[in-house]
Amino acid sequence: MNRLFSLFVVVSMSALLFGCGDNTADTTTPEPGTTAAPIPNISLSVVKTYPHDTSSFTQGLVVYKGQLFEGTGGDADNPVSSKNSHLLKVNLETGKAEKSIALDDHHFGEGITVLNDTVYQLTWTERKVFVYTLPDLKKIKEFDFNTDGWGITNNGKELIVTDGSGNLYFYNPSTFQLLHTQSVTHNGELAYNLNELEYIDGFVYANVWQQPYILKIDPANGLIVGKIDVSDIWQRINNRDPNDVPNGIAYDAETKKYI
Residue 67 has pLDDT above 60, yes or no: yes
Q: Which of 36-40, 78-82, 84-88, 129-133 has the lowest mean pLDDT?
A: 78-82
pLDDT band at 258 (very low <50, low <70, confident <90, very high): confident
Residue 5 has pLDDT above 90, yes or no: no
- Which whole number is the average pLDDT over 159-171? 97
pLDDT for the residue numbered 18? 47
Residue 68 has pLDDT above 90, yes or no: yes
pLDDT for the residue numbered 51? 83
| DSSP sequence for 95-149 | --EEEEEEPPTT--EEEEEEETTEEEEEESTT-EEEEEETTTTEEEEEEE-SS--
pLDDT for the residue numbered 122? 97
Q: Which of 16-25, 86-95, 169-178 has the lowest mean pLDDT?
A: 16-25
pLDDT for the residue numbered 252? 83
pLDDT band at 241 (very low <50, low <70, confident <90, very high): low
Residue 4 has pLDDT above 70, yes or no: no
Do the beta carbons of residue 172 and residue 160 sit within 8 Å?
no
Please give the Cα distance from 179 to 102 (Å, whole number). Answer: 30
Q: pTM here?
A: 0.84
- Which whole number is the average pLDDT over 11-19? 42
- Which whole number is the average pLDDT over 119-134? 96
| DSSP sequence for 15-70 | EEEEEEEE-----PPPPTTSPPPPPPEEEEEEEEEEE--TT--EEEEEEETTEEEE
Highest mean pLDDT among 5-9, 181-185, 187-191: 181-185
